[in-house]
Amino acid sequence: MRFDEKYMEPAERLHGPTTVRWMFFHLKDNLGQQANVSSYKNNNDGILVKVLKEIPLGDLRPNETVQASQEAQLLSQLHHPAIITFYSSFLHRDSFCIITEYCEDRDLDCRLEEVREAGQSLPETQVTDWLIQMLLGLHYMHNRRILHRDLKAKNIFLKRNIVKIGEFHCSRGPWELCMFV
């Protein structure tokens, strides 16, 4: 499938207040932990499945805490089909939490590993489609004078074969990986 906005479904949005409270986010699956940042998937009880990323504030230096908040602010301003959708951020106990969309097809690194292990290769048209999607997302960001600086297969997510650029930081310092130019 070629990437074109006419193929995209409307942006998924939360209904009701935009502030999400921890108690309403029913956690289901731990998606993993990387550098002291835990990610969880909520259960699909009739609401849109989302990811909650929990960043322990005790593990951050004061400037990194500010930068974590700036990452959430930055994500809240990016609205493009090839960029992970941001829903909310909040403080809970000693953690800074960010809620984003869930990409059920995992990341590009996992997909490439699956193909490699199966002794197969991706069709050229698929690679071209993903590359175009990534370039459109990067073009959108660069037009807003934003650099990602940690673009790699692990930070590119797949949702119904649509590329989603995510992870606008390096989990635990240096938070400067996403910056304004």
| Domains identified in the chain and CATH numbers | 16-180 (1.10.510.10)
Residues 91-102: what's their mean pLDDT?
83
Instruction: Give residue-wise pLDDT tens across range 13-58.
Output: 333 333 333 334 444 445 454 444 444 455 555 556 778 787 788 8
pTM flag (> 0.75): no
Instruction: Give residue-wise pLDDT tens across range 107-144.
Output: 999 999 999 999 999 999 999 999 999 999 999 999 98
Residues 148-157: what's their mean pLDDT?
91
Q: How far is CA 114 from CA 5, 66, 110, 140, 150, in A?
A: 28, 37, 6, 30, 22
Answer yes or no: 59 catalytic.
no
7 — pLDDT class (breaks 50, 70, 90): very low
pLDDT at 153: 96
1 — pLDDT class (breaks 50, 70, 90): very low
Phi-psi bin for 16: left (phi > 0), alpha (psi -120 to 50), beta?
left
